[in-house]
Chains A and B, each alone.
Chain A
């Protein structure tokens, strides 16, 4: 047992050292401004991930996790500083085209413009799914207006997808036909980017530290994933790598409760004419425009 004198000295010294904490009020304010509602965050993340997983299925995107380079010895930035830089970067790139690629096919993926749409903005999403032999099994563009109002947006996120009304243009490369029609649909992918932004804005992440990804300096983040009571498969871990210079998302990794691992790479493309053309499926001249059922085929029978 330390002597009383030593104990008193320890109390006094620790109290003075603790009093050295600079700007505790600012830290408190930052802490109290955060949303600690884990259920909503979890579901929001899950919604984004479900969307990502759906995309991954379409693109045969269950791939081996890429090996990441060793972390450098530079001291990692604290989460609040990273959050500020991330949000600034996202705002700067919000008008870009976000290209997300979740599979081994060299030309497949999803292009979305704008990358982070504002309520009311017209959004275009082009999904190109390629099989292992390069055959396109899905080539579709959805166009819609981003729903306005945070409440409806959030509640839709909580339901696992964004229910939308807009235009679908689909090219069937097997039947050599295409069609365009107005429809309602649930779009998951748009939530991927929006979900990431929401996680960052709410501070639902930890900074793991510097890393190297595809030969570039990156910052690795760990997204907080609370335990889920939802039916499996659900997300058990999620990580995000952001560019150490631009602070834009580079890659997201998720692990599901069934052991599946999904990796999605992100690239932000400037809205040049060449890049904007990627938002629309390419329709070969010899393809015929037909009605919806002829493009998509008969609806599958409902299982009894």
Chain B
């Protein structure tokens, strides 16, 4: 059988869950911008890990496996919310010109609710690249492995994501003309 099947492996799984939960919760939080959604996602992640625990526990990095599940859950969910992303507005700015403005915009962030809002407005894969690369601090190759793309795609996506983040942050300083979707 291929899940938490006896007392010893159950204890081992519980140890793993205790160790991994904090990081997964924060990753889920950055990916969704919502504490409860993050908790639901981590719960689902643990369920899936538990189902395959006898295999997962023999891996070198079970936490990396769990993180991959979490990210895939977010990406799957994002597919259902793709219409929301269409509301982001103008397309990506030129990548080369964007780094400086993105750096400036990030430096000026003092309201993290607003930052999380801007992050949540990014397409899910762009958000995943930023969170994995700069919050989890994974090497580019590892991010590429998690997302199933090339290293070049990771770096270009990171640049586009940063530029788009800067756009959103800059525009969020303007008077809102749309529905009340801004963070309170």
Contacts of B99 in A (CB 8 A): 2-3, 5-6
B135 touches A18 (CB 8 A): yes
CA distance A15 to B109 in the complex (A): 13
Q: Pick the most buried of B43, B46, B107: most chain A CB atoms within 10 A of its CB.
A: B43
Which of B23-31, B83-91, B170-178 is found at the contact surface with chain A?
B23-31
Interface residue SS majority, chain A: helix
> Contact: A28 with B21, CB < 8 Å?
yes
Q: Does A11 contact B (CB under 8 A)?
A: yes
Chain B residues whose CB sits within 8 angstroms of the CB of A6 once the complex forms: 99, 102-103, 106, 162
Tell yes or no: A103 within 8 A of B by CB. Answer: no
**A28 contacts B43, CB within 8 Å?**
no
Contact B106 A78 (CB under 8 A): no
Residues of A with C-beta under 8 A to B116 = 17, 20
Q: Identify which of B3-11, B57-65, B142-150 touches chain A.
A: B3-11
* Cβ–Cβ < 8 Å partners of A22 in chain B: 35
Within 8 Å CB of B134, what residues of A? 7, 10-11, 14
Q: How many residues of A contact B (CB 8 A)?
A: 43
Q: Which residues in window 1-55 of B have CB below 8 A to A?
A: 1, 3-5, 10, 13-14, 17-18, 21-22, 25-27, 29-30, 35-40, 42-44, 46-47, 49-51
| Candidates B29, B36, B50, B100; contact of A18 at CB < 8 Å | B29
CB of B29 within 8 A of CB of A14, answer no
Query: Is B122 located at the chain interface by the 8 A CB criterion?
Result: no
Contacts of B50 in A (CB 8 A): 36-38
Enumerate A9-42 residues with CB–CB distance to B below 8 Å. Answer: 9-18, 20-24, 27-28, 30-32, 34, 36-39
In the complex, residue of chain B having the shortest beta-carbon distance to the beta carbon of A14? B135
A195 within 8 A of B: no
Known contacts A14-B131, A39-B3; decide if A24 and B22 are in contact (CB<8 Å). yes
A270 to B41, alpha carbons, bound, how many Å? Answer: 37
Question: Which residue among A2, A39, A204 has the maximum number of chain B CB atoms within 10 Å of its CB?
Answer: A2
Interface of B, secondary structure class, is: helix
Q: How far is B43's CA from A87's CA once the two chains are assembled, in angstroms?
A: 18
Residues of A within 8 A of B158 (CB): 1-2
Please, how many angstroms separate the alpha-carbon atoms of A22 and B5 in the complex? 34
Q: CB < 8 Å: which of A10, A15, A207 contacts B130?
A: A10
Separation of A3 and B97 alpha carbons in the complex (Å): 11
Question: Is A226 an interface residue, CB under 8 A from the partner?
Answer: yes
**Residues of the B chain whose Cβ atoms lie less than 8 Å from the Cβ of A14:** 30, 130-131, 134-135
Is the Cβ of A203 less than 8 Å from the Cβ of B102? no
Docked Cα-Cα span, A18 to B32, in Å, equals: 11
Report the separation of the CA atoms of residues A27 and B21 in the bound assembly, to the nearest whole angstrom.
Answer: 9
In the assembled complex, which residues on chain A have CB atoms less than 8 Å from the CB atom of B112?
16-17, 20
Residues of A within 8 A of B119 (CB): 17
Flag whether A283 is at the interface (Cβ < 8 A): no
Q: B137 at interface (Cβ–Cβ under 8 A)?
A: yes
* Nearest-CB residue, chain A, relative to B1: A39
**Bound CA–CA A84/B122 (angstroms):** 33
A118, chain B: closest CB distance, angstroms: 27
B interface residue numbers (CB < 8 A to A) = 1, 3-5, 10, 13-14, 17-18, 21-22, 25-27, 29-30, 35-40, 42-44, 46-47, 49-51, 99-100, 102-103, 106-107, 109, 112-113, 115-116, 119, 130-131, 133-135, 137, 155, 158-159, 162
Chain A interface (Cβ < 8 Å from any Cβ of B): 1-3, 5-7, 9-18, 20-24, 27-28, 30-32, 34, 36-39, 78-81, 203-204, 206-207, 224, 226-227, 229
29 A-B pairs in the complex with CB atoms less than 8 angstroms apart: A1-B155, A2-B162, A3-B99, A6-B102, A9-B103, A9-B106, A9-B107, A11-B135, A12-B106, A13-B115, A17-B30, A17-B115, A20-B116, A31-B17, A31-B39, A32-B14, A32-B17, A32-B18, A36-B13, A36-B46, A36-B47, A37-B50, A38-B3, A38-B4, A79-B39, A206-B40, A226-B47, A226-B51, A229-B1
